[in-house]
């Protein structure tokens, strides 16, 4: 990543996020992050390629856990600890000609 892009990010992209008291390090890439100008609010969007799950969200497959971990990472890395809205988005592919 170039220096110009890196300086515009809201945190150091090489910073590690560790869940306190566990030694567990969170890895991965956030698909989309929207931050308010003052960094007080954030929306994390994780795009999913599968079908929208039916019923109550569960940890099956890890998508819900991933959403929560990304929200935790944003709260940990942004200096002002923003309020975070984390969502899973299941875009539908409708290829009709």
70-93 pLDDT, tens digit each: 999 999 999 888 999 999 888 875
Task: Give the chain's domain count.
Answer: 1
Q: Does 67 fall in a domain?
A: yes
Round to whole Å and give the CA distance between 77 and 13: 10
What pLDDT, on a 0 to 100 scale, did the predictor assign at position 40? 93
Residue with tokens 């497959």: 61
Task: Classify residue 22: in a domain, yes or no.
Answer: no
Cβ-in-10-Å burial (0-12, 13-18, 19+) of 91 comes to exposed
Judge whether 68 lies within some domain.
Answer: yes
Highest mean pLDDT among 5-14, 30-39, 58-67, 86-95: 30-39
Please report whether residue 45 resides in a domain: yes
Residue 34 structural domain = 27-89
């Amino acid at each position: 990543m170039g220096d110009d892009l890196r300086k515009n990010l809201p945190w150091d992209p090489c910073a590690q996020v560790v869940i306190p008291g566990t030694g567990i390090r969170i890895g991965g890439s956030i698909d989309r992050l929207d931050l308010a100008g003052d960094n007080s609010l954030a929306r994390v969007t994780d795009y999913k390629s599968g079908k929208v799950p039916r019923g109550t969200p569960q940890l099956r497959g890890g998508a819900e856990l991933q959403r929560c971990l990304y929200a935790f990472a944003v709260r940990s890395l942004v200096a002002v600890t923003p309020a975070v809205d984390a969502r899973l988005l299941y875009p539908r592919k409708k290829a009709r000609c």
